[in-house]
Chain A
Amino acid sequence: MIYWNSFSDFLAMGGYGLYVWGSFGVTTLIMVLEPIAVARNRKTTIARLKRQLRAESRSTEA
Chain B
Amino acid sequence: MNDRFNLYRFAAPATFYPLAGKMIPWFVAAGILFGLAGLYIGMLVAPTDFQQGEGYRIIFVHVPTSWMSMFIYLVMAFWAAIGLAFNTRLSGMMARALAPTGALMAFLSLWTGALWGKPMWGTWWVWDARLTSELILLFLYIGYMALVAAIDDPRRGDKAGGILLLVGVVNIPIIYFSVKWWNTLHQGSSVNLTKSSMAEIMLWGMLLMALAFWMYSIAIALARVRTIMLERERHTDWVRQELAGDSQ
Contact = CB atoms under 8 A, between A and B. Distances in A.
Interface of A: 1-4, 10, 13-16, 18-20, 22-24, 26-27, 30-31, 34-35, 38-39, 41-42, 45-46, 49-50, 52-53
Contact of A4 (B44, B216, B244): B44
Nearest 7 pairs of A and B residues by beta carbon: A14-B54, A16-B55, A23-B112, A13-B54, A19-B115, A42-B227, A23-B58
A24 B44 CA distance: 14
A3 B58 contact: no
Interface residues of B, number: 40
B55 A46 contact: no
A35 B25 CA distance: 13
Nearest to B201: A3
Interface string B171-194: 000000000000000000000000
B111 interface: yes
Contact of A15 (B53, B104, B111): B53
B240 A38 contact: no
Contacts of B108: 26-27, 30
B45 A1 contact: yes
Given A19-B115, A27-B108, A14 B223 contact: no
Contacts of A14: 48, 53-55
A18 to B, nearest CB: 8
Contact of B224 (A2, A20, A23, A38): A38
B62 interface: yes
Given A19-B115, A22-B115, A26-B111, 14 more contacts: A14-B54, A15-B53, A20-B54, A20-B58, A27-B61, A27-B65, A27-B108, A27-B111, A30-B104, A41-B224, A45-B231, A49-B231, A49-B239, A49-B243
